[in-house]
Amino acid sequence: MTKPVFYTAEQGGKVVGGGVIQALARTLLEEKLIDGIFAFVEGFDERDLRPAFITNPGDVASISLAPYMPFSLARIAHDYGPSARFGLISRPCDIRACTELGKRNMFDLSTLYMIAIGCEGTRDAEGQLRDSCTRCEYRTAASADLNCFVGKGKTAIQALTEKGAKLLALAKLTELAVSDDPLARLEGLEAEAAARQADAFAFLNDPPEERFLVWSGQHAKCFKCYGCRDVCPICYCRDCSLKADRGLVAGGVVPPSPLFHLARMAHMADSCVNCGQCQDACPADIPIARYFQAVQKRLQGIFGYVPGVDTVVRPPLTQFGEAEMQFEDTILGAEVGS
Amino acid sequence: MSTREPEIIAFLCNWCSYAGADLAGSLRFSYPPNVWIIRVPCSGRVEPVFIFKALLLGADGVLVGGCHPGDCHYGTGNMYARRRYNLVRQVLEVAGIPPERVRFEFISASEGRKFADVVTEFTEQLRNMGPSGLKVKAS
């Protein structure tokens, strides 16, 4: 990996990050490398971020990089279809989700421009660090084309792909001679987050009976608003098996059968990027993302697959290792990981 | 002390495990009558959701039977099935449902003995574990 280099796109340092992200967006649109860009723009105030699909180079100034994450932009990009040619300027979890979708044939990743904003954690409307962000170990996105680290009047950029490097050259940014390492701080945060997971997942050491009581108690609060399903960037089926007419989860029953949650888990846990949107959307305050990340962590231990960190390795349930053909045990361990 | 007998739903692949169960009958091996067999074209057809649904409808245990690695009639269905089974185990584990209630076995068409043994052992194990208590009214 190359070391990030600092750039600016304006004089005076008034714009956040020196307007580098905006300049990259403008270049993408002006060079017609894409049809449009998914990014957040400011609404009423700094905390009110709204998703936008920007197609006019004149509109790029409205792109906001404030540390809020009210939606997953990758989720919104679903509707754009597999022939999409778009740019995505978002947080690493969103970029990873987009990568996972690419692997599941929702997008053609080779046509996308994914620009990740190095993330120190995002906040909810009250200004509190979001629950998922406290446990996030991926403050940069290794699958992005460009990793950007926004600072005061300057932005450090790490080009991870050829496509990204070309875009960076086209943008004609002013290189700055700054030797800070923006990665060091993020790596520190990642280590802290990893340490916090021990607390967050301490419930896994409880006896199973107790765990089941807590789990079923949490899910008994569910009134099946489908919020968690609708905001999940990984969840993309047009004809959802959880709909009442599919015969799995009966309609008009509240709380729904636990099958609702178990099915979601079985469908998404292998690709879950811990974006935490499901938990934020939940009006019943079920710690969905925590359960998802707990399962995801365990799957990582078995299959050695980390969602969204590369664009090559297929999700663990859609492939298997050659060695497994010779392996007669039914319980897989790390030795047969992908 | 519950006198209720465990109920096992077995998803058996058409080409190996179902034929294995058939052979167990032809060879007159006795095994507990606690197993309800559902024939599926391939163990790869068994979605995690089927397993969860069986448990929530009141099955005490779920058995998934597939061909041995490399023997799948369709090439690789059983390999995917095994991966899914490992996912199911983790989901159940985190939810506090004993993952031992779900079992995946490679049973070939010639292994009537193995099928009888697996069902006997599984029934015994579920009897010791007691009823699952997972049954929900509407699912």
* b/e map B17-33, b = 16+ CB within 10 Å: bbbbbebbeeeebebbe
**H or E segment and range at residue B84:** helix B77-95
pLDDT at residue A334, as a whole number:
58
The reply to whether A332 touches chain B by the CB within 8 Å rule is: yes
pLDDT for res A77: 92
**Pick from B53, B76, B87: CB nearest A270:** B87
The answer to whether the CB atoms of B56 and A258 lie below 8 A apart is: yes
Tell me whether residues B90 and A302 touch, CB distance under 8 A.
Answer: yes
Contact B96 A331 (CB under 8 A): no
Is B9 strand, coil or helix?
strand
Residue A13 has a pLDDT of: 63
pLDDT at position B138 is 53
Query: In this complex, do B91 and A266 lie within 8 Å of one another by their Cβ atoms?
Result: yes
Point out which residues pair with A205 in neighbouring strands: none
Nearest CA in chain B to A301: B90
Give the minimum alpha-carbon distance from B31 to chain A in angstroms, rounded to a whole number: 22
Residues 43-72 of B with CB under 8 A from A: 47-49, 52-53, 56, 68-70
Q: Which helix (H) or strand (E) holds B14?
A: none
Other C-beta atoms closer than 10 Å to the C-beta of A221 total 12
DSSP state of A121: -
- Quick check: B135 pLDDT over 90? no
Residue closest to B117 by CA, chosen among B23, B53, B29, B45: B29
Cβ-defined contact of A262 to B49 (cutoff 8 Å): yes
How close is the nearest chain B Cα to the Cα of A315, in Å? 11
Edge-to-edge strands, sheet with A113-117? A49-54, A36-42, A86-90, A113-117, A146-150, A155-159, A5-8, A174-175
Q: Is some CB atom of chain B closer than 8 A to the CB atom of A226?
A: no
Q: What single letter denotes the amino acid at residue A166?
A: K
Partner residue facing A330 (CB), from B94, B96, B106: B106
Q: How many CA atoms lie within 13 A of A149 on its CB side?
A: 20
B49 vs A298: CB contact, 8 Å cut-off? no
ipTM higher than the 0.90 cut: yes
Residues of B in contact with A263 (CB under 8 A): 48-49, 52
Can you state the percent helix, strand and coil of chain B, rounding each to 5?
45, 15, 40
pLDDT at A338: 44
What's the confidence (pLDDT) of residue A293? 96
Q: Is A269 on the interface with B (CB under 8 A)?
A: yes
Per CB-CB distance under 8 Å, the chain A contacts of B88 are 266
C-alpha to C-alpha distances, A130 to A65, A67, A105, A113, A136, nearest whole angstrom: 16, 10, 30, 27, 10
pLDDT at A335: 56
B105 in contact with A at a CB cutoff of 8 Å? yes
C-alpha A69/C-alpha A117 separation (Å) is 12
Confirm or reject contact between A289 and chain B (CB < 8 A).
no
Q: What's the pLDDT at A235?
A: 93
Residue B13 has pLDDT above 70, yes or no: yes
> Per residue of chain A (338 residues), what is the pLDDT tens digit?
678 899 988 766 677 888 999 999 999 999 999 999 999 999 998 889 999 999 999 999 999 999 999 999 999 998 887 888 999 999 999 999 999 999 999 999 999 999 999 999 999 988 899 999 999 999 999 999 999 999 888 899 999 999 999 999 999 899 998 878 889 999 999 999 999 999 999 999 999 999 999 999 999 999 999 999 999 999 988 889 999 888 889 888 889 999 999 999 999 999 999 999 999 999 999 999 999 999 999 999 999 999 999 999 999 999 998 888 888 889 987 555 54
pLDDT at position A148 is: 95
CB contacts of A262 in chain B (<8 Å) are 48-49, 52, 56, 91, 95
Q: How does residue B137 score in pLDDT terms, banded at 50, 70 and 90?
A: low
The verdict on a CB contact (< 8 Å) between B91 and A270 is no
Helices H / strands E in chain B, number of each: 4, 4
A322 touching chain B per CB within 8 A: no
